[in-house]
Amino acid sequence: DPSIDGVEPLEDDLTAELNRSGLESVTELLRIIDTSAEDFRKSPPDYNGCLTNARIALETLAKVISKARSIVSFNSLDEVKWGYVLGKLSRSGFITKKEEEGLSGFYSFISQGAHSPLGLSEQEIARLGRALALSMCYFLVKLHNNR
């Protein structure tokens, strides 16, 4: 991932925001993010595991925020589904409809995993997907922390 002089790497910023958030499951979220990185770096790499764990981190964070803000109570099976949680975040005003569409589209993109024939190597798609997933996590936790 590119670094910019004077700016912390995204993963460091994300960790700081998660630690500042007061949300439950921060330790578990950080473990999932670390597992995603480990899957990318191990030999042989597990690119699918890398993307799966990045997607799990994003989905888990959205659910934790929804619960913390009493947007979703998770009393039924429908309430634990990604689409339901995302829709509730939008209808509650936490995110806009356009942001919901962006998160939903990204989630569909990353769900293709390292198997997606986009003209990119498995390594490139895993790196891109992981960076985007962490960026979406950062976006959600920053919204949470600033409201």
pLDDT in tens, 119-142: 788 888 888 899 999 999 999 999
| Cα–Cα dist 42/62, whole Å | 28
E strands present in the chain: none
- Mean pLDDT over 105-117 rounds to 75
Residue 105 has pLDDT above 60, yes or no: yes
Burial of 63 from C-beta contacts in 10 A (0-12 / 13-18 / 19+): buried
Distance from C-alpha of 32 to C-alpha of 130, rounded to nearest angstrom = 12
pLDDT band at 112 (very low <50, low <70, confident <90, very high): confident
Alpha carbon distance 25, 37 (integer Å): 19
* pLDDT tens digits along 54-69: 999 999 999 999 999 9
- The predicted structure's pLDDT at residue 100: 97
Instruction: Provide the pLDDT confidence category of residue 1 given band limits of 50, 70 and 90.
Output: very low
The label of the residue with tokens 């024939």 reads 117
Q: How far apart are CA 94 and CA 80, in angstroms?
A: 18
Name residues whose C-beta falls within 8 Å of residue 75's C-beta, 6 or more positions apart in sequence: none
Q: Which amino acid is located at 79 in the chain?
A: E
**26-80 tens-digit pLDDT:** 999 999 999 999 999 999 999 999 999 999 999 999 999 999 999 998 888 888 8
